[in-house]
Amino acid sequence: MARIFITGSSTGLGLMTGIELARRGHSVVLHARNGDRARDVSAALPQAESVVVGDLETIAGSVAVAGDVNALGRFDAVIHNAAIYSGGQRTTADGLRALFAVNVLAPYVLTSLVRPPDRLIYLSSGMHLGANANLDDLQWQRRAWSDSTAYSESKLHVMLLAFAVARLWSAVKANAVDPGWVPTRMGGPNATDDLREGFATQVELAAPAVHSPFVEATGEYFHHMRLRDPHPQSRDSALQDELLALCARTSGIEFPVPAVRHRQQ
């Protein structure tokens, strides 16, 4: 039995992933932004081990969530599922665009602070293929805001983070997943992809069967259980390091040196 923590799992693909993992006998810890959502998700999946509550829109909120997760003990896998699309141009209490704060900085902070699991899964999007990293304007200070472009960029940034972790943390299997355009609250009723396929890959990466090809996968990009070619920029180690440095400077939290961290465990 594996223990898995899933961010942004009070609804949608995150909750569906948790339900399927629990159905397979794994221990699942869910995450909700506030108490009301936590009560709803507890009712939706009463067999969940726990529900961590915290708003990933702020740095302090992400740090608190990381602390609560660590207090529960080590996990075999963490799925970074939380994300927003519309309304991301809002300015958070930290003075950041909300979309960047939730989609990019929060997984960076959690990755840096949560005790490293065996497996990390980051939800990206096929929309990242049409983006440019634009690391010199993460907060859209020089450009007119576009929901779709900003979202696409954030998902390319998630790819950079996932592949940086895979490159730098040899003891962790880190991968990115495009769940497709599925009819969740974010995807909307007109989405054309199969809902079950939207969470199947995350389930297999988080808790693969013994002889599954997913066991050794790391630094890869998947869509509906199959390998896909990611945006070439996502493989650029210099861009990966630049994003890590920008996130460290923004959050005040350094990305840990993995070899040292794992030897200390």
Residue 262's pLDDT is what?
41
Confidence of residue 258 (pLDDT cuts 50, 70, 90): low
Closest by CA to 162, choosing from 214, 100, 228, 235, is 235
Model pLDDT for residues 192-207, shown as the tens digit of each residue: 566 678 899 999 999 9
**Each residue of 49-92: pLDDT tens digit?**
999 999 999 999 999 999 999 999 999 999 999 999 988 999 99
pLDDT in tens, 150-180: 999 999 999 999 999 999 999 999 999 999 8
Is it the case that residue 28 has pLDDT exceeding 80? yes
Of 108, 151, 173, 221, catalytic: 151
Residue 181 binned pLDDT confidence (cut-offs 50, 70, 90): low
pLDDT at 183: 57
Percent pLDDT > 70 in the chain is 91
Res 188: pLDDT: 58
pLDDT at 193 (0 to 100): 62
Tokens representing 192? 């054309």
- pLDDT-derived band at 25 (thresholds 50, 70, 90) equals very high
151 catalytic per annotation: yes
Which of the following is catalytic: 122, 155, 173, 221? 155
The pLDDT value given to residue 197: 81
**Three-state SS string across the chain, please?**
CCEEEECCCCCHHHHHHHHHHHHCCCEEEEEECCHHHHHHHHHHCCCCCEEEECCCCCHHHHHHHHHHHHHCCCCCEEEECCCCCCCCCCECCCCCEHHHHHHHHHHHHHHHHCCCCCEEEEECCHHHHHCCCCHHHCCCCCCCCCHHHHHHHHHHHHHHHHHHHHHHCCCCEEEEEECCCCCCCCCCCCCCCCCCHHHHHHHHHHCCCCCCCCCCCCCCEEECCEECCCCHHHHCHHHHHHHHHHHHHHHCCCCCCHHHHHHHC
Q: Distance between CA 67 and CA 82 in Å, rounded?
A: 17
pLDDT at 182 over 80: no
Sheet holding 119-123, edge to edge: 50-53, 27-32, 3-6, 77-80, 119-123, 173-178, 221-223, 226-227
Answer yes or no: is pLDDT of 263 > 90.
no
Tokens 């350094």 found at: 254
Of the listed ranges 10-19, 101-110, 156-165, 178-187, the least confidently predicted one is 178-187
Neighbours of 36 (CB within 10 A): 11
In terms of CATH, what superfamily is 3-264?
NAD(P)-binding Rossmann-like Domain (3.40.50.720)
Whether the predicted pLDDT of 235 surpasses 80:
yes
**155 is a catalytic site residue:** yes
Predicted TM-score of the model (pTM): 0.94
> What is the reported pLDDT for 259?
47
Question: What is the rounded average pLDDT of the residues 19-26?
Answer: 97
For residue 46, pLDDT beyond 50: yes
- How much is the average pLDDT of 12-38? 97
